[in-house]
A and B are shown apart, each in its own frame.
Chain A
Amino acid sequence: GENVEQHPSTLSVQEGDSAVIKCTYSDSASNYFPWYKQELGKRPQLIIDIRSNVGEKKDQRIAVTLNKTAKHFSLHITETQPEDSAVYFCAASRGGATNKLIFGTGTLLAVQP
């Protein structure tokens, strides 16, 4: 079945450094790849997404890259701040009317002040 692998499971960086989280998906028909940030006990919040017709997308300190051939996509956070500390989930979907999201296993990011 569909599967999304996510690495690393935990990531600790110093404030100001960059953080990179990587995901690999198995369903070659996937064409939508969102990233969610979830704080403890809260709902997942969409922070950035990318569709399969684009290789890279950037929004201020956050960027996502997609390699469809290799079925990899990555989240890049630059100039990290303590408030970036949270669990980050990648997901993949075929899009369309049903848009079922398959989530990665999550990465706990800790930004040390």
Chain B
Amino acid sequence: GAVVSQHPSRVICKSGTSVKIECRSLDFQATTMFWYRQFPKKSLMLMATSNEGSKATYEQGVEKDKFLINHASLTLSTLTVTSAQPEDSSFYICSALSGQGIYEQYFGPGTRLTVT
């Protein structure tokens, strides 16, 4: 149990286009999901906390108009990178919490975004 999927696993896009990444909890309802960004050989950097039915909470330095997050249901959160630029190229990973009081986060497999 506790499986989180992400789609797509890899995406290449041109500068100026927008890219949507989906994060789904497959066998549980996730009231809270998190979006991370990871550069090569670096740690996971939290971008935002996504709560179902409410606005995401962004970490300091993360542009909310650049990285749009929508958590429309208890099993789906989406991250849209708008007007993508080469510096947005990175590994994006989501995670999900199964409910209040539960500590463990379940991670998705990640999405490799390359902006040309």
Residues of A within 8 A of B (CB): 1, 32, 34, 36, 41-46, 49, 51, 89, 93, 95-106, 108
Contact check, A46 vs B104: say whether CB atoms are below 8 A apart.
Answer: yes
A51 partner, pick from B32, B93, B103, beta carbons under 8 A: B103
In the complex, A32 Cα to B107 Cα: how many Å? 17
* Size bracket of the B interface: 20 to 34
Which 9 pairs from chain A and chain B are nearest by CB?
Answer: A43-B107, A97-B100, A103-B43, A103-B44, A43-B109, A32-B103, A105-B43, A44-B107, A106-B43
In the complex, A104 Cα to B112 Cα: how many Å? 22
Contact check, A101 vs B107: say whether CB atoms are below 8 A apart.
Answer: no
Interface 1/0s, chain B 53-69, versus A by CB < 8 A? 00001001000000000
A101 partner, pick from B34, B101, B109, beta carbons under 8 A: B34
Contacts of B34 in A (CB 8 A): 100-101
A98 partner, pick from B43, B49, B60, beta carbons under 8 A: B49
Chain A interface mostly helix, strand, loop or mixed?
Answer: loop
Contact check, A104 vs B43: say whether CB atoms are below 8 A apart.
Answer: yes
Residues of B within 8 A of A (CB): 31-32, 34, 41-46, 49, 57, 60, 91, 93, 95, 97, 100-105, 107-110, 112
Contacts of B93 in A (CB 8 A): 43-44
Distance between A27 CB and nearest chain B CB, rounded to angstroms: 14
Question: Given that A49-B104, A100-B34 are known contacts, is A42 also in contact with B43, CB under 8 Å in the complex?
Answer: no
Question: Given that A32-B103, A43-B93, A51-B103 are known contacts, is A102 also in contact with B46, CB under 8 Å in the complex?
Answer: yes
Distance between A56 CB and nearest chain B CB, rounded to angstroms: 18
